[in-house]
Structure 1
Amino acid sequence: MNRTEFLKNSAIATGTLLTGSAVNAVANPIDLSRYPHASGKTFNLDYAPHEGMFAQNAGNKFLDQIRYLYDMGFRSIEDNGFLGRSEAEQSQIGDLLAKLGMRMGVFVLDGGDNWKISLTTGKKEFKSHFEETCRRAVEAAKRCNAKWLTVVPGFYERKLPYGIQMSNVVDAMRAGAEIFEPHGLIMVLETLSDTPELFLQHTHETYSVCKAVNSPSCKILFDIYHMQRNEGDLIVNLDRCWEEIAYIQIGDNPGRKEPGTGEINYKNIFKHLYQKEYKGIMGMEHGLSLKGKEGEMRLIQAYREADNFL
């Protein structure tokens, strides 16, 4: 089971938003002059689309999409399901990224059904499976020169006190960090808003885990969409936890679409991150407000507008 299923088909499954109008999009090309900033130069920050986000313009093959993203000015991608791809496909993606000088963003350290049961339980079989997945991820990361791997510790275990659950999570993350440290890989723990049953709900909790693990291989994935829903005060919380944040993801709220479609002032946030000299990847983990080719071009222009903060 991948993370999309784990989170019960949340709105990040953008592929379903894009495929329905493919035929009509090809038959009815859009007027690109309406989107003068939609392609060309690179961005001030390193934004990373994912598979399917530009399928209308680039086609259904992921390698073709990556080439298209490069032409549009992007220099990184995300691929949550990378660990589930064949070794041959992983190598093809990695080879193309290397050829283009692009970076691989996060892929999910998918623990299968054990994510539902959770590392909070402290059960040996779940921790062992987690460690096995970490070792498998090391080999996958080598094929695409990946550095970051998303980890979701799972659900609350209501039969255990919170402090015991926290200790169990820290213990599991230390075991993962020991596997990743020799390879320079970083687990990024994601705090989510999809359900109150998830153990990590706020940035300060994830910060506590990372401080307790005390490893360069255990850091925070700060998803702006989720944190706006769970706690707000985005810039303040970014600054409070900055030393433990290694990766950032994007999505406006409400709706989880591109910047400019909701209440979050992304231009100010992007400017703040730029001024803090953030050099990491900004994962575009959201859907599109418009369907078809035009929606994809509007998406790029939305990033051009939010990225225009200098």
Structure 2
Amino acid sequence: MNRTEFLKNTLLAGGAVLTGSAMGATAATTESPYAAQNGKTFNMDYAPHEGMFANHAGKSFTDQIQFMYDQGFRSIEDNGYLNRPVAQQEQIGKLLEKLNMRMGVFVVDGGDNWKTSLTTGKKEFKDKFVDTCKRSVEAAKRCNAKWLTVVPGFYERKLPYGIQMANVVDAMRAGAEIFEPHGLIMVLETLSDTPELFLQQTHETYNVCKAVNSPSCKILYDIYHMQKTEGHLLVNIDRCWDEIAYVQIGDNPGRKEPTTGEINYKNVFKHLHQKGYKGVMGMEHGNSIAGAAGEKRLIQAYREVDNFM
């Protein structure tokens, strides 16, 4: 599933609207040993996204954020935040401030679906990236965001790999110069959506970050993608730890919530906790079960894998 399909699918959720208290009452009648923990803050800072709880909270994103808070979540993610109307950005920011919640990543989206690649070294592509970075700074201020996702783009098959890497590093330095004075961090995401994407494995992104040498250029370690492309999750986390600033979640196969696939998320989360990770854990995945039942199951799954203390 690519990012465009992922966002489209998660925004289609809808159905019967229940209150957070009603959900808690329903969950309490189940046999799950984790049901009574609904509303308790998690050990790690997991961040749901829009549409993930639409059956319980309704279509309004702000109502969904309130519901997320009521279930114990203390951060959100919103990949498409940059393209929301300013008034809506401000509304989201005010609610997060009121609830003392954090904004996770939003995407520095130039609208090119990654195909306008910074690997080419073309001035028009770099200029577009720089302009989008500047626009992202103002958007970040409205919700007190700290992390912004960047994807350098596709391979340029007409150029040697080393030249492409140099072009990406040059563009990332330009982005870092914009973000650094504001204390913002662009996190480069290594993806598995298509073999055409330039950054395929963590060590490549690590290389870029070391070359840029800025606190504003770090790694977004997406566990789902990295399980697909390289495996050895704990080993590679340790190898690249000093450049990892953000983590995203999704089980494999299927890109659904933890416990639905092959990844031992309890061990992964325990490892991150022991390393002292205090950042946001973006829930960039779908629900394995449709409707309200799937939303309850998702919360229960996070209670299960968060129980590593």
TM-score, normalised relative to structure 2 = 0.94
Which residue in the other structure is 2:125 paired with? 126
Which residue in the other structure is 2:10 paired with? 15
Confirm or deny: 8 A CA contact 1:150 1:189 kept in the other structure.
yes
Which residue in the other structure is 2:80 paired with? 81
- DSSP 3-state at the match of 1:128: helix
- State whether structure 2 residue 216 is matched by structure 1 residue 204: no
User: How far apart are 1:115 and its partner, in Å?
Assistant: 2.5
Confirm or deny: 8 A CA contact 1:14 1:286 kept in the other structure.
no
User: How far apart are 1:175 and its partner, in Å?
Assistant: 0.1
Confirm or deny: 8 A CA contact 2:251 2:259 kept in the other structure.
yes
Which residue in the other structure is 2:279 paired with? 280
Higher RCO (CA-CA < 8 Å; seq separation 6+): 1
User: How far apart are 1:40 and its partner, in Å?
Assistant: 1.5
Confirm or deny: 8 A CA contact 1:14 1:288 kept in the other structure.
no
Confirm or deny: 8 A CA contact 2:190 2:199 kept in the other structure.
yes
User: How far apart are 1:25 and its partner, in Å?
Assistant: 8.4
Confirm or deny: 8 A CA contact 1:119 1:172 kept in the other structure.
yes
Kindly report the root-mean-square deviation, in angstroms, between the aligned alpha carbons of the 2 structures.
1.9
> Which amino acid in the other structure matches residue 265 of structure 2?
Y
**Structure 1 residues 24 and 99 mapped into 2: Cα distance closer, same or farther (>3 Å)?**
closer
User: How far apart are 1:112 and its partner, in Å?
Assistant: 1.4
C-alpha distance in 1, partners of 2:200/2:170?
Answer: 19
Deviations 1:26-78 (A, max 9, x none): 9xx89422251461210000000000000000110000000001100000000
Which residue in the other structure is 1:300 paired with? 299
Which residue in the other structure is 2:230 paired with? 231
**Mapping of residues 83-102 of structure 1, within 5 Å:** 83-102=82-101
Confirm or deny: 8 A CA contact 1:91 1:144 kept in the other structure.
yes
- DSSP 3-state at the match of 2:13: helix
C-alpha distance in 1, partners of 2:43/2:277?
Answer: 10
C-alpha distance in 2, partners of 1:180/1:98?
Answer: 22
Which residue in the other structure is 2:167 paired with? 168
Confirm or deny: 8 A CA contact 1:106 1:148 kept in the other structure.
yes
C-alpha distance in 2, partners of 1:45/1:165?
Answer: 37
Confirm or deny: 8 A CA contact 1:81 1:107 kept in the other structure.
yes
- DSSP 3-state at the match of 1:189: strand
Q: Which runs of 5+ in 2 are unaligned?
A: none
C-alpha distance in 2, partners of 1:24/1:163?
Answer: 53
**Structure 1 residues 306 and 17 mapped into 2: Cα distance closer, same or farther (>3 Å)?**
farther
- State whether structure 2 residue 136 is matched by structure 1 residue 137: yes
Which residue in the other structure is 2:39 paired with? 40
Which residue in the other structure is 1:262 paired with? 261
> Which amino acid in the other structure matches residue 122 of structure 1?
G
C-alpha distance in 2, partners of 1:87/1:196?
Answer: 35
User: How far apart are 1:181 and its partner, in Å?
Assistant: 0.3
User: How far apart are 1:13 and its partner, in Å?
Assistant: 4.0
Deviates more, 1:107-116 or 1:165-174: 107-116
- DSSP 3-state at the match of 1:188: strand
Which residue in the other structure is 1:70 paired with? 69
Percentage identity across paired residues of the two chains:
73
Which residue in the other structure is 1:159 paired with? 158
C-alpha distance in 2, partners of 1:271/1:215?
Answer: 28
**Structure 1 residues 15 and 38 mapped into 2: Cα distance closer, same or farther (>3 Å)?**
farther
TM-score, normalised relative to structure 1 = 0.93
C-alpha distance in 2, partners of 1:296/1:158?
Answer: 43
Q: Which runs of 5+ in 1 are unaligned?
A: none
User: How far apart are 1:16 and its partner, in Å?
Assistant: 5.2
**Structure 1 residues 129 and 69 mapped into 2: Cα distance closer, same or farther (>3 Å)?**
same
- DSSP 3-state at the match of 1:150: strand
